[in-house]
Structure 1
Amino acid sequence: MNDKIRIGLIYGGRSGEHEVSLQTALAVIGAIDMNKYEIHPFYITKQGEWRAGSQLTGPVKHAGELTFGSDETSQAAAFALKPFFSSAQAVQEAAAPANSQANIAAVDAASGASEARLDVVLPLLHGTFGEDGTIQGLLEMANIPYVGAGVLASSVGMDKVMMKKVFAQEGLPQCVFRHFTRTQWEKDQAFFLMEIEIAIGFPCFVKPANLGSSVGISKAANRDELLKAIQVAFQYDRKVIVEENINAREVEVAVLGNDDPQASVVGEIVSSNEFYDYKAKYVDGKSSMMIPADIPAEISEQIRELAVRAFLAVDGSGLSRVDFFLRKEDNQIFINEINTMPGFTPYSMYPLLWKETGKSYAELLDDLIALALQRHADKQRLQYSFDIE
């Protein structure tokens, strides 16, 4: 009798963070205990095509091809993937009940016919169409347990404007910001320029409201640079947020749990670039992490407490990384954002923070899968229909 937990690993996706997702998936496959788990890979191309591979029972042959800049065909071949279904078909397949429990069907790449029912899904998708509540909604409809934040927390965590509004309601300290949609900007550009220059000033940061990994983010030192930065941000989202520049250290905390979350030690990012952009994070390899951060113990405890409050404020579950600014002149703490599906390679900040706290990468995966199953079991106690007698 096979008592292994069957995990559906979803990665790739229609996002500017597609390559980051590939790195995360490769790392998880290389570290997860195959004596405990069966891995069934599901790859989503940049065009939104789903591909599935046969069960992985050991190290993946040619997995090293899953690197930045490599050909997408080679990436798919690394897992013996073949076309599976479109997004629309995915909903129908995932929602089909089996033995009173809806599950997603994994296609055996060798025969294209056999079917394996999944116990839990690990959606290693970053950014749009993965970290924003969309894939979570699909899995909720199918009643499949999955790792990480639910629909609400995912969508709020992805939308920086909504996130900041929730944080404000919670009373969390934040920097000054302004936001607008493309329609609002085109209708009243002069007003928003005036608002930014008076309330925020220069330099300032311009970001797409819905994206991660610092994609589309620019630092503007004057009005001309601001205008260019806004146009860049609008390439990635219909909503843009502009934030004040703070002379600060960038510190981060990993949060793990469901209703009773725990915070890791505090770590610090020392960027190789002017700010911690995509290149500094993933390309040049020159940025460094200080774990734990060299900050006073009382400041560290305040940051850890704020991280848990932020996690609970968005109704988080599973995992999140919460990022803060620590102003250099007076150690004033400002929350920057919450990331509900942070980078998850063994060299990413999230698992490194937990490693320093005393939890290995493999143990972290075990905990996340257990938390997903726990959360799903708790939701099964709810009644979704009402019969009138």
Structure 2
Amino acid sequence: MKTKVALITGGYTGEAEVSFKSAAFVHSQLDQERYAIYPITISADAWFHVNDAGIKSLVNRENFSLTIDDHLVTFDIAFIIIHGTPGEDGRLQGYFDMIGLPYTSCNALTSALTMNKGYTKAILADIADLFVAKSVLLFANDRATGADRVAAALKLPYFVKPNAGGSSIGMTKVKELAELAPALDKAFDAENTGSQVLIEEFVTGREFSQGIFRNAAGELVVLPATEVKTTREFFDFEAKYIPGLTEEITPADLTAEQQERASRILQDIYVRLNCRGMVRVDFFLEQESDRFYFIEINTIPGQTPQSFIPQQVRASGMKEGDFYAALIEAALQP
């Protein structure tokens, strides 16, 4: 019997387009002889599956089942590939917990927590050899006075970004105080970003992204790091998704000691946040101090052929299909 996989994509935000591409790649890599894969689109209007003939079937949300040609289809596992709401912020995870369907991502609490960059930093602040940039977290009622608070607490330049959300949407690098108020407005007004804004002191250094996952044997596996070099001011939305603006080097050129230190830090982060499945951690290596500075964690990282995680899987010697199968089998463990 094939394992029936609900491959869940779409979402309620502008990241849905990337989610569709990620899900298509996962689908193309999974072993069709081993897994019966049903792509499921979740949008604000409907939850549905479209078969090869173009026939749409709505999801029964009472038990997340489909009826296709008068045949009831239930699932063994949900493979969540929604970047942003509701697949990355804990909402779907809570739903699946309630109906008893296993899934491949972090649980509801971890997913919700890690969507909040400021709260995540607070929990990770005392991990050995991991540093966090000095920051100010503003809430909606701080909007009128926020610029003054930031100027009094932090040194220029700043990174201003929504405290939730992804793909660097709503983010600005601020070099002069005159740029701060417009940057705060941009971050507060970004869609689905939690009405909170995080402002951090800028860290000068090399930028890296690195994946980690737990396999079916319960072992933590750290993937090779990717170094990100961009012609943009920083690794923003355009740098992430417009070809030619960014150079990505996998595996990154790190010393053996730096690799060992990064691996240890990633494992500590994974355990501290009670992660499941695959996650990706972004960090800076400060040039002068050789310190690793935490940027953020992504619990549903991109899975297009060019995304960091597939690059790192290939660099580790694994095939993407085997990697995705390992995530499924780990999630099916009791």
Assess, with a 3 A threshold, how the Cα gap between structure 1 residues 370 and 138 changes in structure 2: closer, same or farther. Answer: same
1:173 and 2:149 aligned: no
Assess, with a 3 A threshold, how the Cα gap between structure 1 residues 137 and 193 changes in structure 2: closer, same or farther. Answer: same
CA-to-aligned-CA distance 1:34-80 (integer Å, 9 cap, x gap): 111111121123x34222223x6xxxxxxxxxxxxxxxxxxxxxx82
2:65 maps to: 105
* 1:234 Cα deviation from its structure 2 partner: 1.0
Alignment counterpart, residue 325 of structure 2, candidates 366, 375, 383: 366
2:114 maps to: 157
Alignment counterpart, residue 307 of structure 1, candidates 259, 266, 279: 266
Check the 8 A contact 2:282/2:296 in 1, yes or no.
yes
Unaligned regions of 5+ residues in structure 1, if any? Answer: 57-78, 95-103, 378-389
Q: How far apart, in 2, do the equivalents of 1:315 and 1:48 lie?
A: 32
CA-to-aligned-CA distance 1:15-40 (integer Å, 9 cap, x gap): 23111101101111221111111111
2:58 alignment partner AA: F
Alignment counterpart, residue 247 of structure 1, candidates 204, 213, 226: 204
SS in 2 for 1:299: helix
* 1:185 Cα deviation from its structure 2 partner: 2.5
1:10 maps to: 8
SS in 2 for 1:262: strand
- What pairs up with 1:112-261 in 2 under 5 angstroms? 113-170=70-127, 172-186=130-144, 189=145, 192-236=146-190, 237=193, 238-257=195-214, 260-261=219-220
2:167 alignment partner AA: S
Q: How far apart, in 2, do the equivalents of 1:242 and 1:107 lie?
A: 48
* 1:283 Cα deviation from its structure 2 partner: 2.1
CA-to-aligned-CA distance 1:163-200 (integer Å, 9 cap, x gap): 111111545311111101111324xx1xx323322332
CA-to-aligned-CA distance 1:328-383 (integer Å, 9 cap, x gap): 22322111111111001222101211221121101101100011101xx1xxxxxx
1:280 maps to: 239
1:161 alignment partner AA: G
Alignment counterpart, residue 25 of structure 1, candidates 23, 26, 38: 23
Q: How far apart, in 1, do the equivalents of 2:292 and 2:174 lie?
A: 23
Check the 8 A contact 1:51/1:81 in 2, yes or no.
no
Q: How far apart, in 2, do the equivalents of 1:12 and 1:321 lie?
A: 20
Q: How far apart, in 2, do the equivalents of 1:6 and 1:345 lie?
A: 22
TM-score, L = length of structure 2: 0.93
Aligned-pair Cα RMSD in Å: 1.8
1:51 maps to: 48
Check the 8 A contact 1:52/1:82 in 2, yes or no.
yes
Alignment counterpart, residue 58 of structure 2, candidates 84, 88, 105: 84
Q: How far apart, in 2, do the equivalents of 1:134 and 1:239 lie?
A: 19
Aligned residues: 328
2:311 maps to: 352
1:80 alignment partner AA: G
* 1:115 Cα deviation from its structure 2 partner: 1.6
2:143 alignment partner AA: W
Check the 8 A contact 1:266/1:304 in 2, yes or no.
no
Q: How far apart, in 1, do the equivalents of 2:72 and 2:54 lie?
A: 16
SS in 2 for 1:122: strand
Assess, with a 3 A threshold, how the Cα gap between structure 1 residues 145 and 154 changes in structure 2: closer, same or farther. Answer: same
SS in 2 for 1:265: coil
2:259 alignment partner AA: S
Q: How far apart, in 2, do the equivalents of 1:33 and 1:234 lie?
A: 43
TM-score, L = length of structure 1: 0.80
* 1:315 Cα deviation from its structure 2 partner: 0.3
Q: Percent identity?
A: 30
1:324 maps to: 283
1:265 alignment partner AA: P
Q: Find runs of 4+ consecutive structure 1 residues off by over 6 angstroms.
A: none
SS in 1 for 2:151: helix
1:372 alignment partner AA: A
